[in-house]
């Protein structure tokens, strides 16, 4: 039985790019490269997770009791709760979500 060959993230991404450019099925490409089809799919899934936007775990819509016309969107991300008022700045909110996702990923590694 042959030993494992460890590949860098860059090499795995290059192999995935080569597979996509080849037009071959995952099975045919992996056989040609001496890899398993499942390995190609695991690398692809890992690459997608690294580039995916943060996953929102739960969204709760709360109406303010004192002023029924105003509302707040509460978003829970990785255990952090963020209250977003009506008229929020989307760019700032996206930056907050990105920071929370980066911290989640750091904690997982």
The domain ranges of the chain are: 9-51, 58-108
Q: Give the model's pLDDT for residue 62.
A: 60
Q: Give the model's pLDDT for residue 38.
A: 92
Q: Has residue 63 got a pLDDT over 60?
A: no
Confidence band of 75 (pLDDT split at 50, 70, 90): confident
Query: How many residues can be counted in the chain?
Result: 109
Tokens matching residue 81: 């709760």
Largest CA distance in the chain: 70
User: 74 pairs with which residues across the strands?
Assistant: 60, 83
Q: Kindly state the average pLDDT of the residues 67-72.
A: 62
- Residue 58, classed as helix, strand or coil, is strand
Q: Give the model's pLDDT for residue 53.
A: 67
């Amino acid at each position: 039985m042959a030993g494992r060959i460890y590949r860098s993230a860059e090499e795995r991404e290059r192999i995935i790019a080569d597979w996509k450019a080849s037009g071959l099925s995952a099975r045919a490409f992996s056989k040609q490269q001496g890899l398993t089809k499942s390995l190609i799919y695991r690398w692809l899934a890992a690459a997608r997770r690294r580039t995916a936007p943060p996953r929102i775990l739960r969204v709760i819509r709360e109406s303010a009791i004192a002023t029924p016309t105003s509302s707040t969107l509460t978003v829970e991300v990785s255990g952090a709760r963020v209250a977003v008022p009506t008229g929020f700045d989307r760019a700032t909110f996206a930056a907050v979500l990105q920071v929370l996702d980066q911290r989640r990923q750091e904690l997982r590694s």
